[in-house]
Structure formats: C-alpha cells, structure tokens
Structure 1
Amino acid sequence: MHEPLGPDDPLAPLPFNPYKGNRGIMRAWNALKYSIKGFRVAIREESAFRQELTLAAILVPIGVLVPVEPVERVLLLGSVMLVLIVELLNSSIENAVDRIGLERNELSGRAKDLGSAAVTVALLTCVMAWGLILVPRFGPALLHWLGMR
C-alpha cells in the first residue's frame, strides 16, 4: 500500500479552487472575457502600454506591407508583439507588488526594476530586429529620398 500524500508533497492534488471549475469551451470563453478585460484595464490605466500600443499601431501595418521574406516578417511583427507581452507582464508584477503594500521595500523595488529591465530588453530586441532587417535593405534608398546622399 502507498502512504497518503502529505500537503507538502509536490505530487499531492491541489486544494479545491472554486475559480477553476470550468472546463472545455466555457473555460476558453471565460479566458477570452478575462483577456478582453485585461486589455481594457491596460489601455485605461497603463500609460506605457498605451504608448507601446501606439507604436504597434504604426509598426504592425508597416511590418505587414514591407516587402520582406516571411521569416523576416515574423521577426518584425513578433518583436512588436513581444514588447506588448512583456509590458503586460511588467504591469501585472507592478500591480501585484502594489497590492501587497505601497511602502518602500527593497524586494518590491527589485521586482519592479526587473520588470522594467525586461521591457527594455524587449524594446531593444524590437529595435535590433527592425534595424537588422530593414536598414540594409532600405537604408540607402531612405538616405537618398531624404537628400542625405
């Protein structure tokens, strides 16, 4: 016979969670509703997300229309989406930390700083992808068009 699993055993079943009751299509429907709610909150409450969403509104159509290989298009568009994803996660961290307490705390500050650093890495990745793909291809023509060459 096997001994019953204790509460600290990683293989023990999780305690009942009333928020995890839906399965199948209802779970997917509720997830979509929560995602839309999250987007609305991010747009309404997070100025950095609004700024990055504005950047995405400019870059995504360019990324769709610019004549590049399919893999390059995925890198252009994916790097923009990465910025939005990381900003949403950073905002989640900031909100969770603020929920815990608004007083200054070294670990809270570190969590927020690390989230901010992640956004910066995502933005640099986006700049790098766009620069490495588009500058060699369109840089000379752009310089000529601007009268700088």
Structure 2
Amino acid sequence: MWQQILRVRQRAIWSWDGFVHVYRTEASLMQWLMANAVFAVLAFALPLSAGERGLLLMGGIIVLAAECLNTAIERVVDDIGTDKRDAAKYAKDCGSAAVAVTAIAVGVAWVCVLVGLAI
C-alpha cells in the first residue's frame, strides 16, 4: 500500500514539474490561466447551475491540458533536431490546432450557456 502511495506522490511531483516547465517557458499558458481566472469569476457570478458551472470550468482546464500537450510535442520535435522538416512543422501545427480546437469548444459551451440564460 505504501508503495502505491509513493507512486502517486511521485507522479504528482512529475506532473507539477511539467506544469511549472510549461508555465516558465510558454507565455501562452499564462494567457490561458488569466482567461480561466476571468471566466471562473464570471462562472461564479452568473446564475448558473452546478452542471453548467462545472462544464465551463472543466473546459478551461482542458485548454490548459492541451497547451501542456502542445508544449510536449514541441519539446520532442525540437529535441529530435532543429532542421526544417515538413513532419516537424506538421506535428507542431497539429499541437497548436489541438489547443485552438479545445478553446473553440469552450467558447461554444459559453455561448450555449449564455444563450440559455437569455431565453
């Protein structure tokens, strides 16, 4: 049992190290954190159901996860080599697209919730 607890602890440390790396090296993560803070305040200020609020907050967190994955892709591609290669460009572009798609999904969720409030 203690071994399992130590494994969970170690995984949490590695995860935190990864998040700190992205925070320190990617300005876009700070932008998403600020956007999440603004939208979290809005989510708690509006008369939303717990489900709506949870969906919107979760969506913002998923954008952060996508940004972390995008950074991981960029680091691996850059580690392999700095030569201009089509596959490297496409990998990085796809990672960026993943962030954009998740952000659009959260935007759609916000529009749906706000339209529901207005009706």
Normalization by structure 2: what TM-score? 0.90
Q: Which runs of 5+ in 1 are unaligned?
A: 1-22, 141-149
Aligned counterparts of 1:61 and 1:54: Cα–Cα separation in 2: 11
Aligned counterparts of 1:73 and 1:79: Cα–Cα separation in 2: 10
Moved over 3 A (4+): none
Aligned counterparts of 2:44 and 2:117: Cα–Cα separation in 1: 16
Q: CA deviation at 1:60?
A: 1.8
Q: CA deviation at 1:63?
A: 1.9
Aligned counterparts of 2:36 and 2:9: Cα–Cα separation in 1: 26
Normalization by structure 1: what TM-score? 0.73
Aligned counterparts of 2:12 and 2:41: Cα–Cα separation in 1: 24
In the alignment, is residue 93 of structure 1 matched against residue 73 of structure 2? yes
What is the root-mean-square deviation in Å for CA atoms of aligned residues?
1.8
Q: Which structure has the highest helix share of the two?
A: 2
Match of 1:14 in 2: none
Q: CA deviation at 1:99?
A: 0.7
Match of 2:86 in 1: 106
Decide which of 93, 102, 106 is 1:126's aligned counterpart. Answer: 106
Query: Which has the higher mean CA deviation after the structures are superposed, 57-66 or 104-113?
Result: 57-66
In the alignment, is residue 33 of structure 1 matched against residue 5 of structure 2? no
Match of 1:60 in 2: 40
Q: CA deviation at 1:26?
A: 1.0
Determine which structure has more spread, i.e. the larger CA radius of gyration: 1
